[in-house]
């Protein structure tokens, strides 16, 4: 009787310790493209920095013209550094106006499955904003 109880306790402990360790199917988020657009009435310098696991994988500064007659200036990035393992943190900063960041690890908490995202960042009179939408993987 004592041996049976002991086996039951050891069995329950083994299941409890290994649950969640059998599969590592956590959802992954990958950024496919980043578009940054100036919606301001004046030109602006914009810096885009991407870090993967605390290492800078991309950094560039652009000068965007002011919006003119509904025509905007910006950049669309589709780069190889966007894919891969590890947390990718993308920061868009506009002069000394404002900055915003997003992280693939944080975004993956919003999804149950692996997702590929397109990111749109706008710079307007209220600062920098970031939006994302699902894309094809």
Domains recognised in the chain with CATH numbers: 25-135 (2.60.40.4150)
32-67 tens-digit pLDDT: 999 999 999 999 999 999 999 999 999 999 999 999
Instruction: Please count the other Cβ atoms lying within 10 Å of the Cβ belonging to residue 92.
Output: 23
Q: Give the pLDDT confidence score for residue 126 in this predicted structure.
A: 93
Tokens (6 digits) for 63: 């000068």
List the Cα angle 49/52/56 in 5-degree steps: 45
Q: Give the pLDDT confidence score for residue 1 in this predicted structure.
A: 53
Which is higher by pLDDT, 78 or 7? 78
d(CA 1, CA 9): 13
Answering whether pTM is above 0.85, one says: no
List the Cα angle 46/31/87 in 5-degree steps: 90
- Under the banding of pLDDT at 50, 70 and 90, the label for residue 18 is very low
Half-sphere exposure in the Cβ direction for 81 (13 Å, CA): 15
Place of tokens 């409890």: 16
Task: Please provide the DSSP assignment of 53-106 as one string.
Answer: TTEEEEEEEEEEPPPBTTB-EEEEE--GGGSSSS-EEEEEEETTTEEEEEEHHH
d(CA 35, CA 19): 41
């Amino acid at each position: 009787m004592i041996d049976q109880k002991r086996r039951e306790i050891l069995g329950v402990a083994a299941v409890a310790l290994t649950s969640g360790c059998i599969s590592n199917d956590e959802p992954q988020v990958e950024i496919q493209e980043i578009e940054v657009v100036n919606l301001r009435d004046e030109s602006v310098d914009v810096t885009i920095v991407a870090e993967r696991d605390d290492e800078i994988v991309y950094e560039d500064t652009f000068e965007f013209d002011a919006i003119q007659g509904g025509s905007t200036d910006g950049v669309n990035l589709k780069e190889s550094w966007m894919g891969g393992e590890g947390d990718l943190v993308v920061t868009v900063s506009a002069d000394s106006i404002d900055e915003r960041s997003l992280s693939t690890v944080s975004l993956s908490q919003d999804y149950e499955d692996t997702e590929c995202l397109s990111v749109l960042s706008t710079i307007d009179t209220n600062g920098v904003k970031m939006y994302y939408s699902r894309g094809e993987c």
